[in-house]
Structure 1
Amino acid sequence: MIIVTGATGLLGRQIVERLLTRVPAGRIGLSVRDPEKAQAFADQGVRVRRGDFADAGGLAHAFEGATQVLIVSIDKMGDEAVRGHRAAIDAAVAAGARRVLYTSHMGASATSHFQACRDHAATEEALRACGVPYTSLRNGFYAASAVRFLVQATGSGRLALPADGPVSWTSHDDLAEAAAAVLADEGRFDGPTPPLTAAEALDFDDIARIAGDVTGRPISRTTAPDDRFRRQMEEHGVPAGYAGHLLDIFVAARAGEFATVDPTLATLLGHEPTPLSAVLRKHLPGA
């Protein structure tokens, strides 16, 4: 049985939807914190059990009978994230899974400027030491993050962000389809995958231009000093630690950590990845 964690989240849900087009529902199990939110999958014949990375007994029940376990990375940073991922890896191994898979990041590195990428690197180290074959899906940077930075700018016509660098913005839709393809073809990748990225890397000058074309309203891109950006985030109620993590995305982008473009995602999909313009057209207000 293929077990997917976090199956009620944005990425996890789409992975399961696409996996259902490739394998019978009876071969899929979900580990979720709130089974009621996965009722639509249960109605299709998917096994749904409660699983929480902080509850080893619950994970053992949720992972029972696993042949593969896909650990969808949790929306936390630092020690809490790594502890949770390690607990899920240990539970997958204890359940007898032949392979453990994990949604990592193209920038995974112990020396990254971005905390989340350091967390992914620590989780990959735990995977290497777990004693069973593993696959680390090194996903491109989520295009949804670019959308969040743009939402206010579409109304004001001004996009004031720190200096950045090119980023391979990649859609959740494409990454979900790729994960489903890898799960359905067990062993296709052993260890970390190549970066699963879009076909081009874009900075926010490019994105402002594309967003203007999509919405029909020009957007002016200006550079905000790092300290001012952090202060403005905090003044708008963003916790200081999280504001620092947001700033670190730009620091890492300036260092070229997210600039790689690789054809592996296109190969998995059988077509070119979704361009950022299509993501913006789908999600930006007024597009």
Structure 2
Amino acid sequence: MIVVTGATGRLGSRVVDRLLRHVPAGEVGVSVRDVRAAAGLAERGVRVRAGDFTDPAGLAHAFEGADRVLVVSAAIRGDGALAANAAAVDAAVAAGARRVLYTSHQAASPDSLFPAQPVHAATEAHLAASGRPFTALRNGFYASSLPFWIGDAVRTGRVVAPQDGPVSWTAHDDLAEVAALALATDGLLDGVTRPLTAPDALDLAAVAGLLGELTGRPVERVVVGDDEWWEGAVAGGMPPPAADFTLGMYRAARRGEFAAPDPALEDLLGRPATPVCAVLGELVAGQR
């Protein structure tokens, strides 16, 4: 059986949908925090069980009989993230899974300026030490996060943010398709993958240019200092730890951590990756 965690989330739900195109529903199980949210999957014949990374004991039931497990990285910030990811990996190994897959990130590194990346790097190390074959999917930076980066630029005509750098904005749908292929074809991807990214890396100035083309009016890129941005974000209601976390993204971007275009994703897909302008076009259409 193939078990996918986080199967009601933005990435996990897409992985399961594409996986069901490759294998029968009876061979697929999901581990979710709220089984009610996965009722649609149960109706399709998928095994649905409750599982929470912060409750390792419960994962034994969720992973029972698993041959392959996809651990979608925990949506937790801070020290608890690594503990949660490691607990899921350990539970998959204890359940007898022959391969454990993990949704890592293109910039996974112990010395990254973005706090999420040392967690990914440490989880990869934990996977490697598990003694089981593993796959760390080094996903590109999710293009769906662009609304957060550009704020209300569609309305104001201004992208106001700290200095950044090129980012390989990558669509969830493309990454989900590759994850499903890796689950359905054991051994297709082994160990730490090459960066699974869209072919272009754009900074926010370039994104602002695309927004201008899509909206038909100029969109200005306005750079503010780190401290000024942090103070404004906190004054606007963002908790200081969240502001620190977010500022790390900008610092990592301008150091070039997210500028890693690689042909691996398109090679696996057998087609061009979804361009960032397509994601932006949906955003603009939704805000008009």
Give, in angstroms, the shift of residue 268 of structure 1: 1.3
Partner Cα distance (2:151, 2:111) in 1:
31
Which letter maps to 2:253?
A
Which letter maps to 1:133?
P
Match of 1:16? 16
Match of 1:263? 263
Which residues of 2 match residues 85-96 of structure 1 at below 5 A?
85-96=85-96
Q: Is the 8 A contact 2:53 2:74 kept in 1?
A: no
1:99 aligned onto 2:125: no
Q: Is the 8 A contact 1:77 1:119 kept in 2?
A: no
Match of 1:214? 214
Match of 2:3? 3
Give, in angstroms, the shift of residue 150 of structure 1: 2.2
1:30 aligned onto 2:15: no
Partner Cα distance (1:8, 1:115) in 2:
25
Match of 1:192? 192
Match of 1:142? 142
Partner Cα distance (2:17, 2:105) in 1:
22
What is the RMSD computed on CA atoms of the aligned residues?
Answer: 1.0
Partner Cα distance (1:249, 1:56) in 2:
30
Partner Cα distance (1:71, 1:55) in 2:
15
Match of 2:41? 41
Match of 2:204? 204
Q: Is the 8 A contact 1:215 1:286 kept in 2?
A: no
Match of 1:245? 245
Partner Cα distance (2:48, 2:131) in 1:
27
Match of 1:181? 181
| Secondary structure, counterpart of 1:168 in structure 2 | coil
Which digits, 9 at most, give the CA deviation of each residue in 1:42-98, with x for residues without a partner? 000000000011222210000000000000011112210000001001100000000
| Secondary structure, counterpart of 2:187 in structure 1 | coil
Partner Cα distance (1:214, 1:256) in 2:
27
Partner Cα distance (2:42, 2:283) in 1:
29
Partner Cα distance (1:223, 1:173) in 2:
31
Which letter maps to 1:170?
T
Which letter maps to 1:276?
V
Give, in angstroms, the shift of residue 282 of structure 1: 1.4
Partner Cα distance (2:215, 2:67) in 1:
46
| Secondary structure, counterpart of 1:29 in structure 2 | strand
Give, in angstroms, the shift of residue 151 of structure 1: 4.0
Match of 1:53? 53
Give the structure-2-normalised TM-score.
0.98
Match of 2:67? 67
| Greater Cα shift, 204-213 or 215-224 | 215-224
Structure 2: runs of 5+ lacking an equivalent: none
| Greater Cα shift, 163-172 or 143-152 | 143-152
Q: Is the 8 A contact 2:151 2:159 kept in 1?
A: no
1:162 aligned onto 2:162: yes
Which letter maps to 1:222?
V
Which letter maps to 1:125?
A
Give, in angstroms, the shift of residue 286 of structure 1: 4.1
Give, in angstroms, the shift of residue 252 of structure 1: 0.4
Partner Cα distance (1:151, 1:45) in 2:
40
Structure 1: runs of 5+ lacking an equivalent: none
| Secondary structure, counterpart of 1:13 in structure 2 | helix
Partner Cα distance (1:150, 1:164) in 2:
12
Give, in angstroms, the shift of residue 245 of structure 1: 0.9
| Secondary structure, counterpart of 2:21 in structure 1 | coil
| Greater Cα shift, 144-153 or 187-196 | 144-153
Q: Is the 8 A contact 1:71 1:88 kept in 2?
A: yes
Partner Cα distance (1:217, 1:26) in 2:
51
Q: Is the 8 A contact 1:32 1:49 kept in 2?
A: yes
Partner Cα distance (1:9, 1:203) in 2:
27
Partner Cα distance (2:139, 2:18) in 1:
17
